[in-house]
Amino acid sequence: MTPKKISEKRLKRIWAQVPANYYDEGIKKNIFQKIWHGTKLAQILKILPKDAEKILDIGCSSGVLTAQIAKALPKSRITGLDSYDKAIIFARSKYPKITFVVADAHKLPFGNKSFDLIICTETLEHVIDPGKVLSEMQRVLKKNGRAIISMDSGSLLFRSAWYFWTKTKGKVWKDAHLHEFNAQILEDLIKKSKFRIKKKISSHLGMAVTFLAAA
């Protein structure tokens, strides 16, 4: 996949559209967001490796999912990472016992083979170079470490729903998808990045797909 040509200034403008507490408030007040993210969490928990000691959540935003993973695996050490500093500041205040860092997923600030598990949900479509991010994930994963990668499937139903969402309640996401993915493109990119796919789960009436992959 060819890296998207986009200026840092424009990227920051896109991020600034989204309130730091967007997910927290959305899950409370919007039934569609509550169902979408609740179902996504359920799919992740089904395939979550219970023996993972060090976990990295890439694109964690305000830490909603990160906190749920920490709750499910209380003995694990989990780090949430996002390049949107306001969301990370919010996450640190709400979940003070979890480590959150502001960093670019294209250049992860960790040593080689640092993590047992990396979670990357609904993030690759927002980055400039998804292939580079997957390469960095490979670098910081331990040998045979696992990655949970989840995204919308790009189905006709999803594209229709996304169109109307960004015209109404989800206006803050206008132009936020830098790449147009579908389930097959994502699967091919994961394999190209030398991950071994262990499981593939379709959910949300076929509108989302989740992969469990091994380094």
Question: Is position 191 within any domain?
Answer: yes
State pLDDT tens for residues 119-140.
Answer: 999 999 999 999 999 999 999 9
Q: Which two tokens stand for residue 19?
A: 């309130």
Question: Is position 162 within any domain?
Answer: yes
Q: Which two tokens stand for residue 103?
A: 């960093």
Q: For the chain, what is the largest distance between any 2 Cα atoms, rounded to a whole number of angstroms?
A: 44
Q: What is the pTM of this model?
A: 0.92
Question: Is position 85 within any domain?
Answer: yes
What mean pLDDT is predicted for residues 190-205? 96
Q: Which two tokens stand for residue 62?
A: 């305000």
Tell me the residue range of the domain where 149 lies.
Answer: 8-43+51-214
Beta strands in 54-195 (DSSP E): 54-58, 77-82, 99-102, 115-121, 141-152
Question: Is position 156 within any domain?
Answer: yes
Amino acid, res. 28: K
Q: Which two tokens stand for residue 113?
A: 């083979």
Is the predicted pLDDT of residue 13 greater than 90, yes or no?
no
Is the predicted pLDDT of residue 5 greater than 80, yes or no?
no
Question: Is position 3 within any domain?
Answer: no
Question: Is position 1 within any domain?
Answer: no
State pLDDT tens for residues 40-88.
Answer: 999 999 999 999 999 999 999 999 999 999 999 999 999 999 999 999 9
Question: Quick one: pLDDT at residue 152?
Answer: 94
Any idea what the CATH number is for the domain that residue 155 is in?
3.40.50.150
Q: Percent of the chain having pLDDT more than 70?
A: 98
* Edge-to-edge order in the sheet of strand 196-203: 99-102, 77-82, 54-58, 115-121, 141-152, 208-214, 196-203
Question: Is position 178 within any domain?
Answer: yes
Question: CA-CA distances (angstroms) from residue 10 to 2, 60, 104, 127, 167?
Answer: 18, 21, 16, 12, 20
State pLDDT tens for residues 100-123.
Answer: 999 999 999 999 999 999 999 999
Domain count along the chain: 1
Question: Quick one: pLDDT at residue 14?
Answer: 78
* Secondary structure of residue 39 in the 3-state scheme: helix
Question: Is position 67 within any domain?
Answer: yes
- Rounded Cα distance between 149 and 122, Å, is 8
* Secondary structure of residue 56 in the 3-state scheme: strand
Q: Are the C-beta atoms of 208 and 150 separated by less than 8 Å?
A: yes
- Rounded Cα distance between 42 and 193, Å, is 26
Least confident of 23-32, 63-72, 91-100: 23-32
